[in-house]
Structure 1
Amino acid sequence: MKKNTKRVALDDTDLAILALLQEDASISNAELSERLSLSLTPCWRRRKRMEEEGVIKGYQANLDRRMLGLDIMAFVHIRFATHTDQTPEAFEAVIKQLPEVLSCHKITGDADYLLQVLARDLDSYSDFVESVLRRQLGIASIQSSLALREVKSTSRVAIEGPAMK
């Protein structure tokens, strides 16, 4: 099933708004408009339009996982035995509900899916693999790679435009 995603036309001011919001999502509309030398109402309208069009999907605080006791980050390759039935769709529905899974991507190559999973420790990660992943129908193999060191971690999207260069 192909996801239909339309592109939205954004000008330099829109891109500047997005860059500032990625830097600090808690910025007020008043401060945003001041930093862009734009009056308050047009700034608010632009932000609201980008929210309604789905360019801005939401706002969140970036948390330090280790300070929350989540010391294990695993990258998990999932390979299915067959792709002719509904097992991948059922798997996706389960994965979407799991708070341990930060991201899940359907990929090319030796595996079908790549998951990014957080756990408190190796025992809790092992429990997750045994009690959740191994119980999913149709999975032929599960291969885990544990992160030894986090070199870069961001959810920010590179924004480029004439005003951003």
Structure 2
Amino acid sequence: MSTNRLHHQLDDTDRTILRLLQQDGTLSNPKLAGHLSLSVTPCWRRLKRLEDEGYIRDYQANLDRRKLGYDVLAFVSLGFGAHGDEAPNRFEAAIHEHPEVLSCHKITGNADYLLQVVAESLDAYSAFVENVLRKMDGIHSIHSSLALREIKSSSRLPVPE
């Protein structure tokens, strides 16, 4: 089923649930039901359906990377020399093992992948590049852009009206 078609299955209450939980993932079912003027059981059923259908993938707290000691945020573009071999597939499998990689996207344009990486320091980031990325087969280019200042950072999606 296409994303567009799934979108049409959401009613106003479903969209409100998604918005409220993005704002506060710790909302209990009774409090969520109160915001929606629903009783607890119908609210729970809607929430369970949104989880079962994959609209809600998981719940997490948003942490402050600097308070945890990650002062460096890098955007890393990677290029592979040959696309027909298994190196990109091995890279995709291996990148999941590195928690400092917050996101990894296969992209169009001059690079093949774009990573978002955190590190405690420039030395730690340099060690990640040298000991992890440069040792992976098939990578022929690595371009790093370091964030000087974070203007906006969010994982909240706009929920359509």
Interval of TM-score (by shorter of Structure 1 and Structure 2)? over 0.9
- 2:141 & 2:153 partners in 1: Cα distance? 27
Aligned to 2:105: 105
Aligned to 2:80: 80
Aligned equivalent of 2:65: 65
TM-score by length of 1: 0.93
CA distance, structure 1, for counterparts of residue 2 and residue 50 of structure 2: 14
The answer for unaligned runs of 5 or more in structure 1 is: none
For residues 85-132 of structure 1, give each alpha carbon's deviation from its aligned partner in whole angstroms, at most 9, with x where no partner exists. Answer: 111110001111210000000000000000000000000000000000
**RMSD over equivalenced CA pairs, Å:** 1.2
1:53 Cα shift?
Answer: 1.3
- Unaligned runs of at least 5 residues, structure 2: none
Partner of 2:90: 90
CA distance in structure 1 between the aligned counterparts of 2:54 and 2:96, rounded to whole angstroms: 19
**CA shift digits 1:36-92 (9 cap, x unpaired):** 111111110010111111110000000000000000000000000010011111000
Aligned AA (2:159): I
* Superposition pairs of residues 124-143 of structure 1, within 5 angstroms: 124-143=124-143
Counterparts of 2:156 and 2:134 in 1: how far apart (Å)? 32
